[in-house]
C-alpha cells in the first residue's frame, strides 16, 4: 500500500500523519516544536519521529509516495523565506529534509494556510474549485485556491490576509513589525486584547477570570456580557471588511473559516457575514461562508495531498 505523509509545522507542536492517496487519515500524532537555536532541531525531530512511526506500523520506505509540509510563513519553491514563529530564515526544507530520511520520495513545501485551504477544498462536499480560507488562531493565516490549485504568489506571500492593515483604533503591535494588522484584532490574541481594552468601560464577568481566553469572550457575549458583545461585534466588523476586500479582488465561490477561534461555530459566522453583506459589492454579496470541517487536520491532509498533486 502507498501512503502520503502530511506534516503541519506549528509554533508549539508539529502534527504528522499517514494519509491515503484518497486523502483519508490512517494515523496521526504530534511532537513538540523545539524552536530554540533558530529551530535547528525541528527538521531532525520530524525525520526521527517519522522513521520511528514507519517502523512501528511496518511501513517500508518504498511505500511513502510523497511528503508534504505546511509551514507558518511565506514559501517560494520549497524554501521558507522567513518564519518568525520557528526562527527560520531562508531554509530549504525540501533539500534539508531529504538528507535526514533514508529514502527518496517527492517532497513539497507550502504555506500552512495554503495547504489547509487545499485540504478543505479537496475533501469538501461543496465541490468548489475557487475558495479562500482564513485561519483564526494565535495568528491569522490565509490560503487561496484558484481552479483547484494553491496560490503562493511571487514572493510566497499569497494569502497573507493577517497582515492587511485594517485597524486604526487600537494600533496593537503585530509580530510582523507593523501595527493595525488584521491579525492583531481577529486572532485569538487579538480578540482578548480588544476585550481587555474595554474592560473598564462597563461591568463584565471577564474581571472575575484569572486568565481571559477568546472562548471566554465569545461565550460571555452569548450570555449578554456588554464588553464581550462589543468585542465580538468589533471582531465581526474587521472580518467583514477584510473578507469584502478579498472578495472584491478574488471573487471566490466561498470562504472557509478555520483555526481555534472558529470553534465558536455559527455564532462566529453570523457576525462575520452580517458585516460582510454590509460592505461587499453587489456582485459578491451571496458568497458562501463555511466553518472548516477538517479542523486541525486540514493542514496535514492538505500538505499530504499537495505532495501528490505536484
**Alpha carbon distance 99, 242 (integer Å):** 41
Enclosing domain of residue 234: 126-292
Same-domain check for residues 149 and 91: no
Instruction: Give the global pTM.
Output: 0.85
pLDDT of residue 126: 81
Same-domain check for residues 161 and 266: yes
Contact at 8 Å (CB) between 150 and 117? yes
Contact at 8 Å (CB) between 144 and 151? yes
Q: What is the mean pLDDT of residues 74-92?
A: 86
Same-domain check for residues 91 and 189: no
Same-domain check for residues 151 and 246: yes
Contact at 8 Å (CB) between 209 and 199? no
Query: What CATH number does residue 48 fall under?
Result: 3.30.420.40
Please name the residues in contact with 161: beta carbons below 8 A apart, sequence gap of 6 or more. Answer: 134, 140, 141, 142, 182, 242, 246
Same-domain check for residues 141 and 102: no
Same-domain check for residues 183 and 67: no
Same-domain check for residues 205 and 56: no
pLDDT of residue 235: 98
Same-domain check for residues 173 and 203: yes
Same-domain check for residues 142 and 33: no
Same-domain check for residues 213 and 138: yes
pLDDT digits (tens, 9 = 90+) for 182-220: 999 999 999 999 999 999 989 999 999 999 999 999 999
pLDDT digits (tens, 9 = 90+) for 145-184: 999 888 988 888 889 899 999 999 999 999 888 999 999 9
Strands of the sheet containing 3-9, edge to edge, are: 25-32, 13-19, 3-9, 64-71, 107-111
85 pLDDT more than 80: no
pLDDT of residue 249: 96
Among 109, 14, 113, residue whose Cα is nearest residue 67? 109
pLDDT of residue 59: 96
**Alpha carbon distance 66, 6 (integer Å):** 9
Long-range contacts of 34-43 (CB under 8 A, 24+ apart): 35/11, 35/85, 35/86, 35/87, 36/87, 37/87, 38/87, 38/88, 38/89, 39/83, 39/86, 39/87, 39/88, 42/9, 42/14, 42/86, 42/88, 43/93, 43/96, 43/97, 43/100
Same-domain check for residues 277 and 140: yes
pLDDT of residue 74: 85
What 3-state DSSP class applies to 139?
coil
Distance set, CA 235 to CA 135, 174, 229, 276 (Å): 14, 16, 10, 12
What 3-state DSSP class applies to 120?
helix
- 24 burial class (0-12, 13-18, 19+ CB within 10 angstroms)? exposed
pLDDT digits (tens, 9 = 90+) for 247-293: 999 999 999 998 889 989 999 999 999 999 999 999 999 999 999 98
pLDDT of residue 310: 62
Please name the residues in contact with 179: beta carbons below 8 A apart, sequence gap of 6 or more. Answer: 167, 171, 172, 173
Contact at 8 Å (CB) between 139 and 181? no
pLDDT of residue 73: 82
How many domains are there within the chain? 2
Q: What is the mean pLDDT of residues 230-238?
A: 98
Amino acid at each position: 500500500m502507498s501512503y502520503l505523509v502530511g506534516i503541519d509545522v506549528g509554533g508549539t507542536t508539529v502534527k504528522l500523519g499517514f494519509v491515503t492517496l484518497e486523502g483519508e487519515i490512517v494515523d496521526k500524532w504530534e511532537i513538540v516544536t523545539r524552536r530554540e537555536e533558530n529551530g535547528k532541531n525541528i527538521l531532525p525531530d520530524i525525520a526521527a519521529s517519522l522513521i520511528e512511526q514507519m517502523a512501528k506500523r511496518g511501513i517500508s520506505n518504498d511505500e511513502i509516495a510523497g511528503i508534504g509540509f505546511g509551514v507558518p510563513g511565506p514559501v517560494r519553491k520549497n524554501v521558507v523565506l522567513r518564519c518568525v514563529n520557528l526562527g527560520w530564515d531562508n531554509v530549504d526544507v525540501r533539500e534539508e529534509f531529504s538528507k535526514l530520511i533514508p529514502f527518496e520520495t517527492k517532497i513539497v513545501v507550502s504555506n500552512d494556510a495554503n495547504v489547509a485551504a487545499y485540504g478543505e477544498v479537496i475533501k469538501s462536499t461543496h465541490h468548489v474549485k475557487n475558495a479562500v480560507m482564513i485561519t483564526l488562531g494565535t495568528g491569522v493565516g490565509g490560503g487561496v485556491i484558484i481552479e483547484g490549485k494553491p496560490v503562493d504568489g511571487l514572493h510566497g506571500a499569497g494569502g497573507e490576509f493577517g497582515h492587511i492593515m485594517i485597524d486604526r483604533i487600537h494600533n496593537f503591535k503585530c509580530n510582523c513589525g507593523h501595527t493595525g494588522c488584521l491579525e492583531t484584532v481577529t486572532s485569538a490574541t487579538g480578540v482578548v486584547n480588544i476585550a481587555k481594552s474595554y474592560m473598564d468601560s462597563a461591568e463584565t464577568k471577564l474581571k472575575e477570570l484569572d486568565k481571559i481566553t477568546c472562548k471566554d469572550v465569545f461565550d460571555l457575549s452569548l450570555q449578554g456580557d456588554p464588553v464581550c458583545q462589543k468585542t465580538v461585534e468589533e471582531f465581526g466588523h474587521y472580518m467583514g471588511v477584510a473578507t469584502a476586500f478579498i472578495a472584491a479582488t478574488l471573487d471566490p465561490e466561498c470562504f472557509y473559516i478555520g483555526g481555534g477561534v472558529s470553534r465558536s461555530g455559527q455564532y462566529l459566522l453570523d457576525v462575520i457575514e452580517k458585516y460582510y453583506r454590509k460592505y461587499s459589492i453587489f456582485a459578491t454579496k451571496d458568497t458562501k461562508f463555511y466553518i472548516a470541517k477538517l479542523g486541525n487536520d486540514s493542514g496535514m491532509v492538505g500538505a499530504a495531498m499537495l505532495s501528490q498533486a505536484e
